[in-house]
Structure 1
Amino acid sequence: MFVVYSPEGRNFIGGKSDKANPTKVNAITESDFKETMMELDKDLPERTQQHQKASYALGQYQKQLDTLHERHVVVTVSEIMSTKLVTISPEASFSDAWQLMQQHKFHHLPVVDEGSLVGICSSQELLRHVIINDDNRIEAPKGHRIAEIANPEVITTLPNVDVRRVAFMMTEYQIGALPVMSDLGGLIGMVTRADLIKRLAMLPPLEIYV
């Protein structure tokens, strides 16, 4: 069985029932033919208008489908994350961390020890322990290490995660950045609140499609 969809509804053709109960079709006479054609001519303007409306509706529907195909249905972390990693050692000083943040315009630094992620340091946390002078340099007691103020409990994500989930996690836990880890547990990138804002300002917009 086949189904033909049209603006008037659905029509079923090609089913088994077409052959189950065959009926005799009488030959049409010339007078019947002329009468039928006259009736069709009366309805021609209306049928033409219906056809034009149907064609327009189908054209608009096709444009919507084409638009959907052009959009990114799902945006993942891998599409917006930064892969230019700047990390810091847990033994580094407060001054070292501040200089890296100023140089690269970062607010979060992954703390890495012998290739393993052991914490994350934020500018907000750093500023709680130092004083910034007029030259934009920090004044802090010597001998203090980043390990003392870095957060050892780091929420991370994977490159194939939907960015809307990342936005939820940042809001839920009040954090501004997530390190991105590979399936093998290696640090491969960072995704920040600024990355999300940049993506929200781009086209196509983030929408949910089924």
Structure 2
Amino acid sequence: MFVVYSPEGRNFIGAEPTNKATKINAVTPVEFDETMMELDKDYLTEAQRGQHNQRHKRANYALGQYQKQLETMTDRHVVVTVSEIMSSPVISLPPTATLTEAWDIMQERRIQHIPVLDGQKLVGICSSQELLRHVIVNQSNQIQTPADRAIMDIANPEVVTTLANVDVRRVAFIMSQYRIGSLPVMSETGHQIIGMITRSDLIKRLAKLPPLEIYA
């Protein structure tokens, strides 16, 4: 489930792709062998058959090594939900924080998005990209002007959020559809922010084992 927090209230949005997914099955050694023999039976000479046997042995060896690798991964945990890759606790700022404070904490913590909280209420979100549209940064990587402007003056008051138990593939779909780089993760009641998930979190996840299941 995904919820957009805005000054007008909360709105629910969906995230279901229109096409059903079909799982891609791996080629087994038997299927591989049958396919190769069917292709070769009509034109292989005796010498070629010898070369084919060598290739066949190498293919069997490669498939065997691949199978061993799969067996070593059976005890690893496949990540499927937001809670397993989100960042927590959340770094946030109040509406009265200045652009300089926002920029400094982004540089110090190496983050690109900061939610704006009024108490525990989520009232906006600010990205480094949006911040750089409104300020001038000097050669020392410090904001030169305007330094004392409030972050809420430029923060987006409409924030798309998600829950901790949502499938990460749905998160990727929503980020793509709405062209956003992060989602605050809300509690089940929707009254408290408990984490953040970003595009970088998804990319880092894809680069690690165990792999996500791939569908086409």
Q: TM-score, normalised by structure 2?
A: 0.63
Is 2:137 aligned against 1:137? no
| Aligned-partner Cα distance in 2 for 1:175–1:156 | 11
Match of 1:203 in 2: 209
Larger radius of gyration: 1
Residue of structure 2 aligned with 1:107, choices 109, 112, 119: 112
Match of 1:33 in 2: none
Is 2:72 aligned against 1:86? no
CA deviation string 1:117-167 (max 9, x = no partner): 101000000000001101110122254211110001000010000000001
Q: Figure out how many residues of one structure are paired with residues of the other and give that number.
A: 150
| Structure of greater relative contact order (alpha carbons < 8 Å, 6+ residues apart) | 2
Question: How far has the Cα of 1:74 moved from its partner?
Answer: 5.5
Identity of aligned residues (%): 64
**RMSD over equivalenced CA pairs, Å:** 2.4
Is the CA contact (8 Å cut-off) linking 1:119 and 1:151 kept in structure 2? Answer: yes
Is the CA contact (8 Å cut-off) linking 2:160 and 2:183 kept in structure 1? Answer: yes
Is the CA contact (8 Å cut-off) linking 2:78 and 2:211 kept in structure 1? Answer: no
Q: TM-score, normalised by structure 1?
A: 0.65
| 1:1-210 to 2 correspondences below 5 Å | 70=75, 72=77, 75-185=80-190, 186-207=192-213
- Larger % of helix: which? 1
Is the CA contact (8 Å cut-off) linking 1:74 and 1:162 kept in structure 2? Answer: no
Is there any run of 5+ residues in structure 2 with no aligned partner, and where? 1-66
Change (3 A) 1:135 1:73: closer
